[in-house]
Structure 1
Amino acid sequence: MDTMADTNSQESSILRQISALVTEERDLRERSEHRLTPEERKRIRALDVELDQCWDLLRQRRARDEFDQDPGTAAVRPASEVEGYRQ
């Protein structure tokens, strides 16, 4: 299989997931913060974590590719690790 095509396909999949998560988060945030249910607030927090994990995975894949390593070896890191990063 073409490694470049596979890499692009996997990155496209990650980017589609990011887009879907951002859309869901935006839709929830467009509602007044005071009118959100506790479940909706909890979901926004979960979306933030998922987005951080997706972006981290994408960065890992791109860094591995840049340094001639297999981007397929990148893996989703635990929320506790990703959330501990400084921005």
Structure 2
Amino acid sequence: MNDHDILARIKALVEEEHQLRDATGNKETDHARLKHVEESLDQCWDLLRQRRAKIKTGEDPDEAAVRPVDEVEGYRQ
């Protein structure tokens, strides 16, 4: 997955997040899906930051890997 692919995924997740926040459907289902979308966004942003850091230090950005949700959830923005 390259930076362009990650940014496209982020855009799609943000759109879904907005739709879920505006939805009036099943609150439990919406809440669970929203949590999953937020976690996926955190993972995508982390992966993008990893790739950019590797490029900056002359490393191969393709060596960056998606980290577990419990690792990226606690990061400060």
What is the TM-score when the length of structure 1 is the normalising length? 0.82
Whether 2:17 is the aligned partner of 1:37: answer: no
Runs (5+) with no aligned partner, structure 1: 1-8
Q: Indicate whether 1:67 and 2:57 are aligned.
A: yes
Give RMSD over aligned pairs.
Answer: 1.4
Quote how far apart the aligned CAs of 1:29 are.
Answer: 0.6
Aligned residues: percent identity?
49
Letter of the structure 2 residue corresponding to residue 60 of structure 1: Q
Distance 1:47 1:15 in 2: 15
User: 1:43-54 maps to which residues of 2 (within 5 A)?
Assistant: 43-54=33-44
* Residues in 2 aligned to 1:29 and 1:80: alpha-carbon distance in whole angstroms: 23
Aligned length, in residue pairs: 77
The residue that corresponds to 2:67 in the other structure is: 77
Instruction: Give CA-to-partner distance per residue, 1:32-57, whole Å, 9 cap, x none.
Output: 5xx54201110001100000000000
> Could you list the runs of 4 or more consecutive aligned residues of structure 1 that deviate by over 6 angstroms after TM superposition?
none
